Amino acid sequence: MHRHRELCERAVDPLEIAAGLEAHGITDRTAARFRHRDVFSLAEEMYARVPREPEADRLPAARAESGNRPGWALTALLPGAACALAVLGLQHTDGQLHFAVAVAGVLAVALGLVPALERGPLGGRHHFTPGTRVWICWLLTYALAGDGLLWAAVTGGPDVPGPVASAPLLALACAVAPAIWCAQLFATAAGRRLAGSRGLAEFTARARPLLLGCLALFLLALGLLLTLTAELLDQRPGYGAAGTLGALLLLSRLLLARGFTHAPAVVLAAAGLAEALALATVFAGRLPGCEPLAVPVQRLVERQGPGLVPALILGAGALVLLLHALRTLTRASAHAYREDTP
């Protein structure tokens, strides 16, 4: 109790103490040493024994942030709006003005992402490293022009600049809003299940289908956006590649917001490196004696199209992160009150 006194003083209920103990590595076996059947039972006694601060001083930051909810809910629309204006401008310009509009559009989307991701359920004191951000930019760049470049490389080019797929990128930018709203739904529902659970195992069992449901809801919204943007821009929607990229980015941000930074960084870097290698092997196959290097990717592209390569790579990365999220984001400690909560 002395070691975890601050946690007990600020706790709103016993489950918050149990979540904090779990985050510090306290297990049911440890609780048994103190003559308790599980961590939750130990937390109940600690909650009862330690005097706590007044209610006004120990409210979770999430409650304090609730007054700003309309703000971050609206800022979630900024990246999609900026990208839509940029795409519209690119369709009506050419030459140097076309390039200027493209640069301005990239800057506008980047600036729109800052307030959208700084606050709300996907915000927090944890941030991606510069190297991870570079890999994210590469993944988005590949979504824009990678398929065209890969197809041109397989067919002997590129002789001229290939077409860009602006529809998937526009859909991903617009999907920032449903991603933030789904993350808020997950956080709110998880908090309610945390308050209604009578043990850590019970909370985990309730949280897993909740996480899967929120991810499925986001993918449904992203699929509708891909269909809409593809129809408006007369392009292929690229459900496989864009859908898996959206899932990968959402899971990465959910983990990052709760302090799990290592797995997203590794998976994003691995996915970006794999896409770069897929392109590199095709070009390397043109060198004397290196023809076998290009065979796997070339056959895959010729039979199924260039979109299958990123879909497989990003799908594998999203699956790895999903398994990791089902293990980490469904623990009570991932939803406990923290001093650094924004």
Mean predicted confidence (pLDDT) in 296-317: 90
Domain-located, residue 296: yes
Looking at residue 10, what is its pLDDT? Answer: 60
3-state secondary structure string, 149-198? Answer: HHHHHHCCCCCCCCCCCHHHHHHHHHCHHHHHHHHHHHHHHHHHHHHHCC
- pLDDT of 279 over the 60 cut: yes
Q: What percent of the chain has pLDDT over 90?
A: 32
Domain-located, residue 112: no
User: What tens digit of pLDDT does each residue of 13-57 get?
Assistant: 566 666 666 666 666 666 666 666 666 666 666 655 555 544 434
Task: Write b or e for each residue in 25-50: b if 16 or more Cβ atoms lie within 10 A of its Cβ, otherwise e.
Answer: ebebeebeeeebebbbbbbbbbbeeb
Whether 134 and 51 map to the same domain: the answer is no
Cα–Cα distance, 329 to 318 (Å, whole number): 15
Residue at which a domain ends, from 15, 38, 59: 59
Cα–Cα distance, 89 to 91 (Å, whole number): 5
Domain-located, residue 291: yes
Looking at residue 342, what is its pLDDT? Answer: 37
Looking at residue 133, what is its pLDDT? Answer: 92
Looking at residue 320, what is its pLDDT? Answer: 96
Q: Provide the domain limits for residue 278.
A: 126-335
Cβ atoms of 6 and 316 closer than 8 Å: no
Domain-located, residue 243: yes
Whether 263 and 137 map to the same domain: the answer is yes
Whether 273 and 154 map to the same domain: the answer is yes
Whether 39 and 133 map to the same domain: the answer is no
Whether 159 and 268 map to the same domain: the answer is yes
Whether 319 and 228 map to the same domain: the answer is yes
Whether 221 and 324 map to the same domain: the answer is yes
The secondary structure of 108-119 as a DSSP string is: HHHHHHHHHHHS
User: What tens digit of pLDDT does each residue of 101-155 get?
Assistant: 888 988 998 888 888 888 778 887 788 899 999 999 999 999 988 888 888 888 8
Average pLDDT, the chain: 80
Closest CA to 331 of 8, 18, 38, 13: 18
Whether 306 and 218 map to the same domain: the answer is yes
Cα–Cα distance, 249 to 127 (Å, whole number): 13
Residue at which a domain ends, from 59, 87, 107: 59
Domain-located, residue 116: no
Task: Write b or e for each residue in 293-321: b if 16 or more Cβ atoms lie within 10 A of its Cβ, otherwise e.
Answer: bbeebbebbeeebbbbbbbbbbbbbbebb
* Most confident stretch, 52-61, 93-102, 318-327: 318-327
Residue 286 amino acid letter: R
Whether 15 and 161 map to the same domain: the answer is no
Q: Within 13 A of 61's CA, how many CA atoms are on the CB side?
A: 13
Cα–Cα distance, 197 to 170 (Å, whole number): 40
The secondary structure of 217-285 as a DSSP string is: HHHHHHHHHHHHHHHHHTS---HHHHHHHHHHHHHHHHHHHTT--HHHHHHHHHHHHHHHHHHHHHHHT
| Number of domains present in the structure of the chain | 2
Looking at residue 64, what is its pLDDT? Answer: 38
Indicate the range of 58-67, 109-118, 180-189, 253-262 predicted with least confidence: 58-67
Residue at which a domain ends, from 39, 59, 79: 59
User: What tens digit of pLDDT does each residue of 205-264 get?
Assistant: 888 999 999 999 999 999 999 999 999 988 888 899 999 999 999 999 999 988 888 999
Domain-located, residue 109: no
Cα–Cα distance, 275 to 332 (Å, whole number): 36
> What is the gyration radius of the CA atoms in the chain, in angstroms?
23
Domain-located, residue 94: no
State how far the alpha carbon of 272 is from the alpha carbons of 13, 94, 134, 141, 279, in Å: 43, 31, 9, 10, 11
Domain-located, residue 283: yes
Evaluate if pTM is beyond 0.75. yes
Comparing 322 with 38, which gets the higher pLDDT?
A: 322
Cα–Cα distance, 9 to 51 (Å, whole number): 6
Closest CA to 66 of 229, 152, 187, 167: 187
Looking at residue 25, what is its pLDDT? Answer: 66
Q: Is the dihedral of CA 40, 43, 45, 48 positive or negative?
A: negative
